Amino acid sequence: MIAIVDYGVGNLRSVERALLSVGAEPRITADYEDLSHANGLVLPGVGAFAWALRKLESGNLGRGVVELARRGKPLMGVCLGYQLMFEESSEHGRHEGLGLLRGKVDLVQGSARLPVIGWCRVKQAEWSPLWEGIADSSYFYFVHSYTPAGSPDVLGTTEHSPAAAAARLTVMGTQFHPEKSGPDGLRVYANFLSVCGAG
């Protein structure tokens, strides 16, 4: 079972459908017992960093996710959920993140238009199980104005995102939306299932 962390933020149903399509048994839940018994966790999210973090921290849900991840439970963050896993964000002030990935979330640099919306090539910076079967410089779908930067955990980069994907041990994530990225995006989820021992 793969638990999709339900903290009232994000496109839960589209992530659920994507996981179903690659053979997972997803469960949308905010229950710590469900999270602790899952093979892996997916942390989705859309919106603003500080607001989403407050939602995640209510009822100690964020603390539970961090605790499980630090004990080795595979965790995958997507879009804003991915950003929340970093040490801090500068979106509308300074806010501390979950600290599971190293680096800071800052406003996208070098783009004539914000948010960055559309398909971007992701250059694979490091090998990762997430890239298994995916060609370097494949296209993935992005919607974002802020992005992680200065991270030693980077797995992939784009013109507008110096950490379009990152990982540290069994904590990993993508700035892009795998569920909106066609066959390669679904392959990312399938690869995460393999990391969880559920693929």
Closest CA to 33 of 61, 8, 58: 61
Q: Which of 16, 79, 144, 196 is catalytic?
A: 79
Provide the residue type at 88 as one letter: E
Q: Is 92 a catalytic residue?
A: no
Which tokens is 157 given? 């980069």
Starting at the earlier edge strand, list the strands of the sheet with 95-96: 95-96, 88-89, 104-107, 146-149
177 given a catalytic annotation: yes
User: Which positions ≥6 away from 72 have C-beta within 8 Å?
Assistant: 169, 170
Rounded to whole angstroms, the Cα distance separating 55 from 71 reads 23
* DSSP assignment of 40-94: EEEE---S-HHHHHHHHHGGGHHHHHHHHHHTT--EEEETHHHHHTSSEE-TTS-
79 has catalytic annotation: yes
Q: Which of these is catalytic: 95, 160, 179, 196?
A: 179
Q: Which of 95, 144, 160, 177 is catalytic?
A: 177
Active site residues: 79, 177, 179
